[in-house]
Chains A and B, each alone.
Chain A
Amino acid sequence: MKQLSYTITCKEGLHARPADAFVKYAQTLPCDILLEKGGKQADAKRLLAVMGLNVMQGEEIVLYFRGVGESGAMSAMESYLKTHL
């Protein structure tokens, strides 16, 4: 399992459109990805669950990657987050 922490900088946080784009990107990655914020977890490939975490600007999220291709998935996600969120 791989683990990645990131602080959201985009001003709208993970609300509708950014969350949708994030989830769609996660869906392209082969392994399981869990998104955690403040002790609550959600499947990063499910939009309503991700939106349910109510992630705002300045908040830290932790992503857990598990399964085939987890290392590659983590580095891909890291660059996605830095560019978009």
Chain B
Amino acid sequence: MAKKVIKPVLSAAEAVKCIKPGMSVIIGGFNYGGIPYTLVDALVESGVGELTLIANDTAYEDVGHGKLVANGQVKKVVASHVGLNKKTGQFYMEGKLELELCPQGTFVERIRAGGFGLGGILTPTGVGTVVEEGKQVLEIDGKKYLLELPLRANVALIRAYQADRMGNLTYFGTNRNFNPIMATAADYVVAEVDSVLEVGELDPNEIVTPGILIDALVVKGDNYYANRT
């Protein structure tokens, strides 16, 4: 379905209503940086559960989407690192959470494949390790590669810096991280931003994510970390 040309600017609570129990959600961020804190808090508040969370890490148990895990709303995590959130490891060991760990460079390429129409990617990362288990190994010009499959989600919650009303996005500092790639790999994409400008106010040379990928915009709230990132 075609997305609207002029994007709705929603409250976080309205924006996360598109997320239903059992859905997969891809969430931007790396450690403290680039997490859509306001959206994530609204999702925590909604209590929607049985989610598959696709994110680089699971933050901290009381920070960002780490709270989704701690709150028991997540049945499966796909991530590269979960060591900073004690609840992720604990729930996994207790059998309450499915965990798929993926090398970080592979993780981002799988999302890119999901968003870019590729059937998978070939990477040398993980050859000869447990990451290889159950995967197809291809030899090309004498070098071994693992076939890694695409990742997509029902909904992406991303964080950008400025948007215009058409959903074009810029990014700031290390908040950028996975966000531009994740914007390509979900059926419905919500971007949390510092501010929303009129169409034409962003320099086309500085726009990183074209608005055609975006469904809705949310202006960041006054969460402690939203304010500082």
State whether these chains interact: no
Give A residues with C-beta under 8 Å from B: none
Give B residues with C-beta under 8 Å from A: none
